[in-house]
Chains A and B, each alone.
Chain A
């Protein structure tokens, strides 16, 4: 079978399962008795095995098979969860991850058999249970108790209403030595394509026998009009175990239960004479209607909440980029149209149409942007595991608390943000958190806390990495900087704490006294900083010695198109991102005061520094000194400043164009944009000005 076309799906699903396994095993570590978690792990491992088998990845299949055996024993209560077991399981996950990586890169799983791991897994099995050969059997038997856990009625097949024709088929089949089985299949909660899974189950079972009735009807199942489970009546010469096994081999199936049907038990059975044989199987028209009705009455679960699963399409990110570029073009074209009609006295109605066009392009842009947004979850999910490993490696007790995993960011940003975040977390774990003794001395709880909080703040997304550790020792940083010759003693004497902390972002600066493989290789914070800056973001540190530090990463929500305020400075047009503007003020020259020889204004209880944009931009203001000044109040985090400009030109949706490599010296210009008349205007980066 050519499986290459399923490779993408396989990889995606494998990653999901691995992530879920990782989460669940972490859970298991903290609560080794939780049956739900163990079941969940078992299912994930089982699905992985099935998928790897289908794709022909034998090594991966073997490893997952052995993992599954261990889980199976745990689930049966024959094996207790111990720390050693968790370690082996994590090692297995790493090995699986490696297989997945190999498959992603080369479509081949590689040649690593991971024999030692498999041996360790088997040792675990031997330790808890000396009847290892019997495990194969137990595995299938183990399904039965699972079904009661997942809450499905085990005897659902008895609720199925049979019509005469179907009863007849069953009776006929019996005469030919076949058995009638009732099988209940429960699909996993997380399954996205229930219908597809169900279809595979149908197919698998039809290979072994004939499906007489399904509840809900085959049509309903195909249209995904079922909740979590469906029930089949099957006649077959195969054994019940065979059928159950066939169904279980389909991935994302939570549980399969079954029994031999005794016709006398089913509700609709009335002993009857031979009825005329109708077309057998689920296709017969009467059966779906009857069984669907039966489901509605007999089942306690309401049928309405079936469509909660969102339909999704996987799209190549490049296609989205093309779409995004086209939307950008459209917005430029729209802007030219707007400015063209402004010049020519347009006839009645044109304005209206243009307004309409504007509305459409704006919402088109918004939807395209939304399509590109993904939750940061996919990146931060791997961190709990990382912190756990670090905790072991560094021999420090620590706990990671995350909030806001659902915060959404542009796909390109999310892809890039993982490494910087990982670095900051490692930093907190290694440099930040103190050893247990020191923590005890300082009266802190023995387990160190690291927090990762993400939230949206206006047009930005803020990600904070916080720890309750030692904080940054500014004296140590200063000493190090002096030793390295980064600063002179004179400079050191006058530097503020903040300036000293900023030294950490210089290349090759690590204060760790010794190099560990966790952090301190000297390729650290400067890389974090440049990465974040390449994403048009910024990173800030607040730290208090002995109390802890907070690293704040601020990223723009969107990268390509922004709402901006157009202003005139000395006859030149500049754009300021609307997201950073707090308010617009008109101020009399007399209200401008001097503090330390710097111009400030006093506005609503706050003293704001004034920045004369004409001086910053080297142009001559077109306003006289005695005229009222127009001030754009901009904010950056909790800092604010007033930019003095000559004239407000209005609000405009602009497409950010890069200036190219050749122009790079200018700190406070973040890009350029093309206006409706083809003119180029520069975009001011107010964050760099404050």
Chain B
């Protein structure tokens, strides 16, 4: 993780005194997605996942996280992308959700942590639903001009009836 960038973002926001939120930026294919750090319990390397039969395809299976059995979801499959190819950089992000307990999501890689002020985050107002699935709540604009789509965690934990 790039620590210098972390410092930079922190300093920049000090002047504004606005409310800031930290996001973990993960890569999925060519896109960057931000996950609110408040919901992240842990980031672990890819490990052996036990398949559970009769589950929707995005529910890859269950893992053992220090004696706890947690379900693991593939973000790619959930978004309708191609299936994951597990590489060295593949990570499982352990999320703590209010209703469903802890769960893991598989991402291609974890890039960095960014701090975004509320003015830098715009709610998505264009009709993303027309593309089928709505899994982004807002888009963050970074100083360097990069865009980070902020993931809607409800989307991940929501069960799909369509599949």
Contacts and interface: CB of A to CB of B under 8 A. Distances in A.
Give the interface size bracket for A toward B. 20 to 34
Interface string B61-74: 11110011111000
Contacts of A682: 50, 52, 62
A687 to B, nearest CB: 17
Contacts of B137: none
A315 interface: no
Interface residues of B, number: 23
Interface in A670-690: 672, 674, 678-682
A660 interface: yes
Contacts of B22: none
Contacts of B59: 662-663
B72 to A, nearest CB: 10
Given A617-B53, A663-B52, A674 B103 contact: no
A493 interface: no
B71 A662 contact: yes
B48 interface: yes
A617 B71 CA distance: 18
A666 B100 CA distance: 16
Interface string B122-141: 00000000000000000000
B32 interface: no
A662 B58 CA distance: 12
A680 B64 contact: yes
Contacts of B69: 657-660, 672, 674, 680
B4 interface: no
Interface in A374-433: none
Contacts of A618: 53-54
A661 B101 contact: yes
B99 A666 contact: no
Interface in A297-356: 329, 332
Contact of A329 (B55, B63, B67): B67
Contact of A663 (B64, B68, B71): B71
A665 B54 CA distance: 8
A614 to B, nearest CB: 10
Contact of B50 (A329, A619, A666, A672): A672
A674 B65 CA distance: 10
B51 to A, nearest CB: 7
A653 to B, nearest CB: 16
B20 interface: no
8 contacts: A618-B53, A660-B69, A660-B100, A662-B59, A666-B55, A672-B50, A674-B69, A679-B50
Given A659-B71, A680-B64, A681-B50, 16 more contacts: A332-B67, A617-B53, A657-B68, A658-B69, A661-B100, A662-B71, A662-B103, A663-B55, A665-B55, A666-B55, A669-B52, A669-B53, A672-B50, A672-B69, A674-B67, A680-B61
- Top 3 A-B residue pairs of the complex, sorted by shortest distance between their CB atoms: A680-B50, A657-B69, A617-B53
Interface of A: 329, 332, 572, 616-619, 657-663, 665-666, 669, 672, 674, 678-682
Interface of B: 48, 50-55, 59, 61-64, 67-71, 99-103, 157
